[in-house]
Amino acid sequence: MIVAFWMSSAWAGEVTLWHAWRGEEKVALDQAVGTWNTAHPDTTVLPVFVPYEGLAQKIDAAVPHGNGPDLFVFAHERVADWATGGIVRAVEPDAGTLPVGVEALTWDGKVWGWPLAAKSLALFRNTTLVPTAPTTTDELVSVGRVQTHDDHYGLAWETASAYQVAPWMHGFGGGVFAGDHVALDRPENGLAFAFVQELGKLGPADPNGALVTQLFNEGRAAMVVNGPWFLGEIDAKVPYAVSPLPTVSATGKPAAPYVTVEALYLARDNPDAAAFAAWFAGAEGAKVRQDVGRQVVARTDMPPRLADGTCVDAVTGADCRTPDPVAQAFRAQLEAGVPMPTRPEMARTWEPLARALRRLSRGATSPEAAAAEAQTDYTIVSRPAPDPAAPTPWLIGLGVVAVGALAWVFREARKVPLRPWVWVLPWILPAFAAMTLLVMVPFVVGATVAFFETDGRTWSFVGLAHFWDILLARDFPITSPLSFWSTLVVTVGWTVANLVLHVGIGVALAMLLREPWVKMRGVFRAALILPWAVPSYITALIWKGMFHRQFGMINAILVAVGAEPVSWFGSFATAFAANLTTNTWLGFPFMMVVTLGALSSIPRELEEAAEVDGAGWWDRFRHVTLPLLKPALLPATILGSVWTFNQFNVIYLVSAGEPDGSTDILVSQAYRWAFTRGHRYGYAAAYALLIFGVLVLYGRIANRLAGKKVV
């Protein structure tokens, strides 16, 4: 499986297909592949599941080098990027293909994939609470207000999601693009944001996908805005219906969600792969995907999927089931949808829009200001690439350094007698090779990327431009959360605060658990190690839920004791405290275990002698126990500080950098520059190299201080 995952088809007639489908869609794919393989014994289609989160990156890494799949399934949003980069081949869908699917996959006058399914948002409603679908936004708000009371909500949806806000932007006459340029600050978008703010009053605070699903399944959300993927999450006991989003009363235009077309792409010229793709996207394959996978297939010659159940006409034997109303609703919604733009600029708008919407949802800005701030953020993350630099001086300098390094190695090697090493080399060679391939080579490659402007395919040498841009904060004020120096201050504060708590709590618990009067010490030790044993991302998600403004356990406790609930991610101080609490929970067990191990080697007689001499507990700890703990505790502290300095999981999963990126640390900023701000890999690599430099400097200083203190 691993070989099939990474390598191209090694045998004639084998077609490798990468996909990220789950559940019913995966069942439909497997059934269709089985049918094809049975009918075509000379061709074997091999479907390989790849998690959606990493699918695009793996395609970008594998296909240009002749590896990877023959076919892959992905949304149409990266068509322009992949077509320009030679990742996909132009194809010719048949006449039965849905026009919106062909339009979405067209770039530079050619079609670059076979449309499979079209997906968009629609309005789900609990038919017990809302029996009739609202047709206008005035009706939607009116019905929602009636259903909003106590802990019940009229409309639940992800109000800070740019994708879910897009229907209202289009309905008010706005959107991302105005002609050929990005215009997020259009007045129409400000009107849409004002309407979104009004709709937010009908739902819970800080909604996310899991919360929306829970509220709908518990009957506490009368209506939900979601897509066809939501169908598999609805509890069977919930009576529901789906209808198109309503018309915007202020403009008379329909709320137009983005239409995402999932397509089958041809990654290399393979006739067998092209034949299967045409069949799978055609009428026969579409029927399987529609009936088994419950997809809204991108075909004009396919009647809507029939409702579940058996119904056969007694006279003719014909199927007398009626068309599935859910499938009909999604098909109707497609007619008012807007194909997701495939222009490269689109990918850079998601984060600026999301940041503006989060500020809007917590009341930190006005709708008009949110639209203007989104445009400003977009301008920052989409700045032009640095001017290319002449590589010749750099190559000469690199050659001089390489010659000097080889001369130094040769000179030092002559000082070492070789005969004693003859028998040692075979034993250390495997470790040396592993370190070279797994550590040194990736490091050198990553460091090299920092000197280039690249999106992974096109490369332009820019020298030190990225480093100067970062260190001089050329694109934003030095106090901005996007600034390297501002983020460095936060990172250092984050590291110091965590170390104080990790070491303080860990040592205190270890001192307590060594006392013989503490009963069940083994049980307590095992229980206190559990936070360290649980995967950090699981712990981070649990704590994030506990810090939820409306449904979190922390605020529930505060309310129970008469205090006011806190919007934990609404200010820097509270968001930082939430991150700190989570990471303290994760970090103190390590220090406790290290301290317990060191304490076991300290004779109790030394402390007893100090006690006889009249020393109190604090003096005994400070002058006897602590000096003997330092040889073990100082290296652990240095190691823990490096871990904490780069603690990506907690920052990314708990606060997500909120508010406005102010709680991001250096490593999470580097991640965002690489993957959410237009794939600026060179800039992100420079960021990473600066982080490495900071840690090297810190390590040198810390080791010297630790050595002096231990001695």
The answer to the question of residue 693 being in a domain is no
Residues 401 and 456 in one domain: yes
Residues 523 and 660 in one domain: yes
pLDDT for 290 = 86
Residues 506 and 617 in one domain: yes
| Helix or strand holding residue 14 (H, E) | strand 14-19
Residues 496 and 616 in one domain: yes
Radius of gyration of the chain (CA): 30
Residues 587 and 440 in one domain: no
The answer to the question of residue 707 being in a domain is no
The answer to the question of residue 623 being in a domain is yes
Retrieve residue 339's tokens. Answer: 């194909």
Q: Are strands 110-111 and 106-107 parallel, antiparallel or unpaired?
A: antiparallel
CA dihedral of residues 449, 455, 456, 462 (deg, nearest 10)? -30
| Helix or strand holding residue 710 (H, E) | helix 681-710
CB distance 543 to 578 below 8 Å = yes
Report the distance separating Cα 528 and Cα 187, nearest Å: 55
Angle of helix 666-675 relative to helix 681-710, nearest 10 degrees, comes to 160
CA dihedral of residues 21, 27, 28, 33 (deg, nearest 10)? 90
pLDDT for 318 = 55
pLDDT for 3 = 39
The answer to the question of residue 697 being in a domain is no
Residues 245 and 365 in one domain: yes
**DSSP result, 357-392:** HHHHHTTSS-HHHHHHHHHHHHHHHTPPPPPP--SH
Residues of the chain scoring pLDDT < 70: 1-12, 303-322, 418, 706-711
pLDDT for 499 = 94
The answer to the question of residue 39 being in a domain is yes
Residues 616 and 666 in one domain: yes
The answer to the question of residue 266 being in a domain is yes
Alpha-carbon distance values, 503 to 193, 511, 594 (Å): 46, 12, 10
Residues 163 and 239 in one domain: yes
Residues 618 and 538 in one domain: yes
Residues 506 and 573 in one domain: yes
Q: Which domain holds residue 425?
A: 392-463
Residues 571 and 582 in one domain: yes
The answer to the question of residue 690 being in a domain is no
Q: How many domains does the chain have?
A: 4
pLDDT for 676 = 82
The answer to the question of residue 706 being in a domain is no
- Smallest CA-to-CA distance from 676 within 351, 359, 382 is with 351
pLDDT for 12 = 55
